[in-house]
Structure 1
Amino acid sequence: MADDEKIIQDLLPGKFNTTGKVWVGILTAISLVGVYAYYRQLRYGLIVTNMRDYVSWGIYISNFVFFVAISLVGSLITAVFRLAGVKWGTPLTRIAEMIAVAAIIFASIIIIVDMGSPERFYNLFIHPRIQSPIMWDVIVITTYFFISILLLYYPLLPDIKILLRFKEKSGPALYKFYSFLGSFWKGSHKQYLLSKKAINVLCITIIPVAFTIHTVTSWLFATTYRPGWDSTNFGAYFIAGAFLVGAGGVVVAMYIFRKCNSLEKYITLDHFDKMGRVLVLLALLYLYFNVNEFLTPFFKMKESEAGYLKDLLSGSFAPMFWFAVLTGIILPIIVLLFKKGRKPLPMFIVGIMVVVGAWFKRYLIVTPTLLHPFLPMHDVPKAYHYYFPSWEEWAISMGSLAGAMLIITLLSRIFPIIPIQETLTEHHHETAAQNI
């Protein structure tokens, strides 16, 4: 019992220290700047952006694809690991669930931002067109959002019962919140069985939904007749990239939470080593789809795609393209092949590289293609031949990224980062095995 109390005390959410308060303040400030930029966009219209007739999907859609991609981590770490019985993944499941929920929330928000007039979103429901991939995207994103929320909530119920025992530590406001969320949970055997069954159903459900959301998102591009998007490889290409960036995001969060909350005993060197191996596998898979995506059109070099490929591989977008490939795929593979590269600090750096490289990769999926339409640009202003986001676009995009990190930060303050009850159960099993 003494060990149990020690584990509970170690894993209870704590109040922000000075560094945490500064971090929350910075994220809040960036988010507020983004809100102000969005106010300007609402007031003056999309003219405040640098999107025009050709580049009508700018940094907003790049951000949307990035958020959708990183949200896949919820199904990778939570669903796949749970169904496969991967016990070492237990300390990582809630981190993955928090990232998934935050990402899918801002994926939804950034789509509304991109519409210009938010009331247009209402038209999707009063004038739906089922033959439109945009409608499919709305349906699967909404479904994925609710499943992700439930997949975060159900495993929390046993932990909420534990949190209710520590009213003095959590404070009256959080105590009321915990009571609202889980006062009905008594911890009976019947409730555990029902909860386990519900979690298994959600894990089974979220995997095809997650694959669907990334496939449908890829179809938004692939069903648009443009050089670079006219590909049957896009669905698998998007899913492979999403698995990679999602795992990279978890690695970054693992390191930060471990460092800031002194969780070295629970998020161990072995977890980093195993996640490093997972990252290598996912990076190799994504590298394969990248080669497959670009090698075939490069070999054919059809006139319609020649300008796009040259601009991407050796033209104005080449520095960003090779930076994204080297930083987000090649270098992580090289580093993680060595055991020393799978230590916490190198893994943290590699995780950042993967996430940053993934963001630029999404930007490259959107912008170069739109600047190379099948019908060449004629008799248009010179500015239409180029695209660089306005400060409002940058502010809104950075504000959305900061907002997602703020949600993850606040969730980690409200709920245990590592599942307490599952950790206790595994500790009991290990102790019993040692005593046999």
Structure 2
Amino acid sequence: MHPLVLNKHGLVSIGDAIGGVVLNTKHPRGWWLGFLAGLAMLQILAVSVAWLFYMGVGVWGINVPVAWGFAIVNFVWWIGIGHAGTLISAVLLLMHQKWRTSINRFSEAMTIFAVMCAGLFPLLHMGRPWFFYWLYPFPNVAGVWPQFRSPLTWDVFAVTTYFTVSLVFWYIGLIPDLASLRDQARTRWQRLLYGVLALGWRGSAIHWRRYEKVYLILGGISTPLVLSVHTVVSFDFAVSIVPLWHATIFPPFFVAGAIYSGFAMVVAIALPVRRWYKLEDFFTDHHVDIMGKVMLATGFLVTYGYFSEAWMAWYGHTLYEWGTTMERMFGPYGWSYWALIITNCAFPLTFLWSKRIRRSFFWMEMICISVLIGMWFERYVIVITLAREYIPAQWGRYAPTIWDYGTMIGSMGLFLTLFFLFLRYLPMISITEMRELLPRKQGGGGGHSIMENAP
């Protein structure tokens, strides 16, 4: 007996309710609007990258004081967004948090797509991205070896490890659901496609035993990556001697900010998706409420980081630290600092205290969008600090060009295109894990345990 849920069509099994979204040939208008918008922005990325390859990185607004610009701003922003998937999937799995079941699948997908968007920017910023393999230590006759003291090399190893483990973890969790789609498929090509992807899954006892072992091992491997990856990214700044960068608070500060923006992206996308597909029975207001509390906690950690930066600059009596702090607040780019404080701290942390607001579609959508904008401004403020060097002769200004904006908007198009294709062809909610949440008298508990029912 399959567990049953009640939707607009009456009582249906969980497999039919979730799998029917994929196997149904008709999709809601919202899916088409999102997919076409992402596809349009993806064309902007193609044009921007083609022009960049033809002309060189000089088409961006980078210059001698600000050699990083939008490329590293967007890189760190996308890496942060990808953190929620690993936290929800791995950490909450090991902590026996059952509420993760409704959101872990598409948060894992968001992690993979966000890391793909993030990896795009360092490659483009290299100027000659076709030589990216020089960053790996491989034997070669030219004697070109990576500089292991360079944070760029650390990023390569950290991000590629994170992407590989996340991809394998996501795909392993998909295998039982792919077999379920294979069995429900109505057409021959669907049965063939999902049958190949299911790797011969038949749901036998030995299959479940091996599946659970691999899934838990990957969960244990993924857990330290939540802390290590964005810590390594923060070292891009913290190991330098630039004022306000050379700080020991950066690793935990960056990790908290990554979880903050990652959860904001999950909620911002999950709310409209559940309304389009009528999945309120799976992703409930209770889930939104819990994620709002996580955002509230990490938001305070991020706010504490901003306060700590200003306090240590004043308390340390360092001329360059305090001068850079004043430049951030009241200099030529002071507007971006106060935009950061309003969108990242003042607005979200004022309203997230209310349970009614945490369960409101409109307010949570506005808060999550505000957090995403604020976390982008945080990285912008950090990078643009380079505009003022130690001596006035080296001072400069940074102004992004249309190609900076085109690449940034295009990366969002890449993310949306991949995400909406995922919604179309793969189950956005784990069918097998969702069955475990229902009591046995409704037919639940008949699949794998994933630690919940393990002896």
Aligned residue among 345, 362, 379 for 1:362 = 379
Q: Is 1:281 matched with 2:297?
A: yes
Q: How many residues are paired up?
A: 426
Structure-2 residue corresponding to 1:11: 18
Aligned to 1:138: 156
**Is 1:90 aligned to residue 107 of structure 2?**
no
Query: Normalized against structure 1, the TM-score is what?
Result: 0.93
In 1, Cα distance between the equivalents of 2:2 and 2:58? 63
Residue 416 (structure 1) aligns with: 427
Q: Deviations over 1:105-137 (max 9, x none)?
A: 111111101112112312212522223222121
User: Is residue 295 of structure 1 aligned with residue 305 of structure 2?
Assistant: no
For residue 173 of structure 2, what is the amino acid of its counterpart?
A: P
Mapped partners of 2:191, 2:251: distance in 1: 44
Instruction: Decide which of 213, 218, 233 is 1:217's aligned counterpart.
Output: 233
Question: Which residue does the alignment assign to 2:72?
Answer: 61
Identity of aligned residues (%): 28
**Deviations 1:360-387 (Å, cap 9, x if unpaired)?**
11111111x2112223334xxxxx7211
Residue in structure 2 matching 1:155, options 145, 150, 173: 173
Distance 1:44 1:250 in 2: 37
Range with greater deviation from structure 2 (171-180 or 40-49): 171-180
Structure 1 residue matching 2:262: 3-state secondary structure: helix
Query: 2:340 aligns to what?
Result: 324
Deviation larger for 145-154 or 14-23: 14-23
User: Secondary structure of 2:129's match?
Assistant: coil
CA separation in 2, counterparts of 1:354 and 1:424? 33
| Preserved contact between residue 60 and residue 114 of structure 1 (Cα < 8 Å) | yes
CA contact (8 A) 1:49 1:393 kept: yes
Question: What's the secondary structure of 1:271's corresponding residue?
Answer: helix
- In the aligned structure 2, how far is the partner of 1:352 from the partner of 1:291? 23
Pick from 357, 360, 372: which aligns with 2:388? Answer: 372
**Matched-pair contact (CA < 8 Å) for 1:227–1:372:** no
Greater shift in the superposed pair: 122-131 or 409-418: 122-131
Deviation of 1:17 (Å): 3.2
Stretch deviating more after TM superposition (175-184 or 103-112): 175-184
Relative distance call for 1:423 and 1:41 in structure 2 (3 A) is same
Measure, in 2, the Cα distance between the counterparts of 1:252 and 1:166. Answer: 31
Tell me: CA distance 1:325–1:44, structure 2 relative to 1, closer, same or farther (3 Å): same
2:87, 2:226 within 8 Å by CA — same for their partners in 1? no
Paired position in structure 2 for 1:238 = 254
Which runs of no fewer than 5 residues in structure 1 stay unpaired? 379-383
Which residue of the partner structure matches residue 182 of structure 2? 164
Q: 1:421 to 1:82 in 2, by over 3 A?
A: same
What CA distance in whole angstroms lies between the structure 2 residues aligned with 1:301 and 1:120? 45
Aligned equivalent of 1:386: 397
Q: Which residue of 2 aligns with 1:381?
A: none
> CA 1:17/1:305 → structure 2, altered by over 3 Å: closer, same or farther?
same
Aligned partner letter, 2:246: D
Give the stretch that moved more between structures: 116-125 or 392-401.
Answer: 116-125
CA displacement 1:374-414 (0-9 Å, x = unmatched): 23334xxxxx7211211111101110122112211111111
**Corresponding residue to 2:113 among 88, 92, 102:** 102
Residues 328 and 357 of structure 1 are in contact (CA less than 8 Å); yes or no, is this contact kept in structure 2?
Answer: yes
Which letter maps to 1:48? Answer: V
Question: Cα gap change, 1:241/1:182 in structure 2, threshold over 3 Å: closer, same or farther?
Answer: same
Determine if contact 1:240/1:289 at 8 Å carries over to the other structure: no
Structure holding more helix per residue: 1
How many Å apart are 1:348 and its aligned residue? Answer: 2.0
User: Residues 262-302 of structure 1, C-alpha deviation per residue, up to 9 Å, x if partnerless?
Assistant: 11111111111111111111111221222112221133353
The alignment yields a C-alpha RMSD, in angstroms, of: 2.0
State whether residues 307 and 372 of structure 1, in contact with CA within 8 Å, keep that contact through their aligned partners in structure 2: no
Are 2:385 and 1:350 equivalent residues in the alignment? no
Structure 2, unpaired ranges of 5+: 5-11, 139-144, 446-455
- Equivalent in the alignment of 2:142: none
**Superposed counterparts of 1:42-61, under 5 Å:** 42-61=53-72
Other-structure match for 2:452 = none
**C-alpha separation in 1, matches of 2:189 and 2:372:** 35
Distance 1:275 1:63 in 2: 24
After TM superposition, the structure 1 stretch with the greater mean CA deviation from structure 2, 281-290 or 96-105, is 281-290
Matched, 1:427 2:446: no
Contact 1:227 1:374 in 2 (8 A): no
Counterpart check, 1:259 vs 2:275: yes
With normalisation by structure 2, the TM-score equals 0.89
Moved more, 315-324 or 191-200: 315-324
CA–CA distance in 2 between the matches of 1:203 and 1:426?
A: 20
